Amino acid sequence: MMPELDPETDLSFTRTLAVPRHLIWDCWTQPQHIPHFFVPAPHKVTSVEIDLRVGGRFNTTFDVEGNAIDNTGVYLEVVPGEKLVFTDAYAEGWKPAPDPFMTAILLLSDAPGGGTTYTAIARHRTPDTRKKHEEMGFFDGWGTVVTQLETYAKRLLT
């Protein structure tokens, strides 16, 4: 079910992927898959920790031009095969983050022909944070990530 979007604080897009929904789910929920798509190339994911449950950790470390960037967060909602909601507003153990950026909502549903309808939503606390994320390249960056995800998941079909 699509949540009501607030154009002042939310960014989103929907794309149809030519890969079954269960593979997209596996890619997002199994740590060995995350490094293959989660940040736009040539940047890399160097570590992933997933505890797939409400309150469980979703931690990643990126290598961006030789700089390590740690991202800590927790899952707020997990609906197997359909929905993932995670945020950097908290770390594991519900420890508040000093400067949270966003909450991500991923929605998956079956598309005609055996593919997946993939919706990504980035929900921000303020219009200014939303604007900053858009100016940072939300659509290009997250679009690149979903293209990399689809390409990687197609390789898993063989």
Full pLDDT tens readout for the chain, 158 residues: 678 999 999 999 999 999 999 999 999 999 999 999 999 999 999 999 999 999 999 999 999 999 999 999 999 999 999 999 999 999 989 999 998 999 999 999 999 999 999 999 999 999 999 999 999 999 999 999 999 999 999 999 87
Question: What domains can be seen in the chain, in order of their start residue?
Answer: 20-156 (3.30.530.20)
Q: Give the pTM.
A: 0.93
Cα 33–chain centre separation: 13
Query: Whole-angstrom Cα distance, residue 106 to residue 85?
Result: 6
Residues shown for the chain: 158
Smallest CA-to-CA distance from 138 within 124, 153, 126 is with 124
Q: Which H/E stretch holds residue 14? A: strand 10-17
Instruction: Please count the other Cβ atoms lying within 10 Å of the Cβ belonging to residue 113.
Output: 7
Are 85 and 105 spatial neighbours (Cβ–Cβ below 8 Å)? yes
